Structure 1
Amino acid sequence: MESQLATKVMLVDDEGEFIELMSQRLETRGLKVIAVTCGEEAVAMIEDRNIDVAVVDLAMPGIDGIETLKQLKEKRPDLEVILLTGNATVKSGIAAMKNGAIDYLEKPVDLAVLMEAIRSAKETRMDVLEKRSAEEVKHILKSKSW
């Protein structure tokens, strides 16, 4: 069941032109976008924002995409993360998936492919949250004597 609310996406990339253009393109397709230029900034603000999907560049100064992924998932395990890279390798792809990325896409990314990856990631996140909520309700009902 797809939510009627706009998908909230955090774009994390150190390339200003890329992030500005991609933000505009995603927003014109109905997504709400928060753009940040480094992994540290993404990690610092993730707890204060209700983000559905993070799209993270692999190669950034400071903490790279894999470390950003790890820290984001540590703070928000329900967050789905898509990694983007201009230098795809089997090793980095495996590292991305081992650390919880839902997808791994190459730059330049086709917008239709990215939109489908974001849609799928949000759907996965919503399924996880729905199951967790149902389990919590079940637990509460079991604990009551009525």
Structure 2
Amino acid sequence: MNGVRVLLIDDEGGYTDALAKRLDRRGLSVATAGGGAQALEIMGQRSFDVILLDIKMAGMDGIKTLSAIKRQHPEVEVVMLTAHADTDIVISSLAMGAFDYLMKPADVEELVRKIEDAAMKKRSNSK
């Protein structure tokens, strides 16, 4: 699914850069943000199909960022990424409208499939 617009939000710069390059090579249009506040600023200027959002970040964490995204951009689908298997946080994020979640480091092919599924859901809801 070429051309899917993805915003990757994570405060681990090395991980973000590496994952963005891998997704870009698979035909996705990827932008990055180093945290929730920066992501919301970027989302005010550009639209995205799917957001990849780390749960544990310094400053504005993933749950607060998810809440703000869903308030301001309810049509966008959000896939949560976490290195910490905290069931309560995952359940909370799904209840708040996250599309799904994956454990970090996520298998890139599985992540691409999840992004494609989320993008198809967004597009079908937009019709």
For the aligned pair, the TM-score class normalised by the smaller chain equals: over 0.9
8 Å contact 1:12–1:54 — kept in the other structure?
Answer: yes
Unaligned runs of 5+ in 2: none
Partner residue of 2:59? 62
Three-state SS of the structure 1 residue aligned to 2:75 is coil
Asked if 1:87 is matched to 2:84, the reply is: yes
TM-score (norm 2): 0.97
Give 1:66's aligned amino acid. I
Partner residue of 1:74? 71
Give 1:26's aligned amino acid. L
Q: Greater helix percent: which structure?
A: 1
Cα distance in 1, alignment partners of residues 24 and 37 from structure 2: 24
Partner residue of 2:19? 22
The CA deviation at 1:44 is 1.7
Unaligned runs of 5+ in 1: 131-146
Higher relative contact order (CA 8 A, sep 6+): 2
Aligned residue among 124, 127, 131 for 2:124 = 127
TM-score (norm 1): 0.84
8 Å contact 1:47–1:76 — kept in the other structure?
Answer: no
Partner residue of 1:111? 108
Aligned residue among 30, 37, 42 for 1:40 = 37
- After superposition, the C-alpha distances for 1:74-125 in whole angstroms (9 at most, x for unaligned) are 1111000000000022101111101110011101100111001100000000
Cα distance in 2, alignment partners of residues 113 and 64 from structure 1: 24
Partner residue of 1:53? 50
8 Å contact 1:40–1:63 — kept in the other structure?
Answer: yes
Q: How many residues are paired up?
A: 127
